[in-house]
Amino acid sequence: MSAYATLYNSLQMLQDHSRIDVNGLARRAVEGCPEAEKELMEHLSVSFRAFAQHRLYNEHDAEEIVQEVLAVIWSKYREMVFEQSFQAWAYRILKNKLMDYGKQKRTRNRLLAETPLASPQPLETAEDAALRGRLLVCLRRIGSANSRYARILNLNYQGYSTEEICDRLSMTRGNCYTLLMRARQALLSCLEKQGGWK
Q: What is the pLDDT of residues 83-121, one digit of tens each?
A: 678 888 889 999 999 999 989 888 888 877 776 665 566
- Which of 96, 93, 49 is CA-nearest to residue 74? 93
CATH of domain 3-114: 1.10.1740.10
Q: Same CATH fold, 126-194 and 3-114? A: no
Class of domain 126-194: mainly alpha
List Cα–Cα distances, 72 to 47, 65, 75, 89, 90, in angstroms. 16, 11, 5, 11, 9
Domain ranges for the chain, please list them.
3-114, 126-194
pTM over 0.75, yes/no:
no
Structure confidence at residue 17 as a pLDDT band (50, 70, 90)? low
d(CA 72, CA 53): 19
- Torsion angle in degrees (nearest 10) through CA of 9, 15, 18, 20: -70
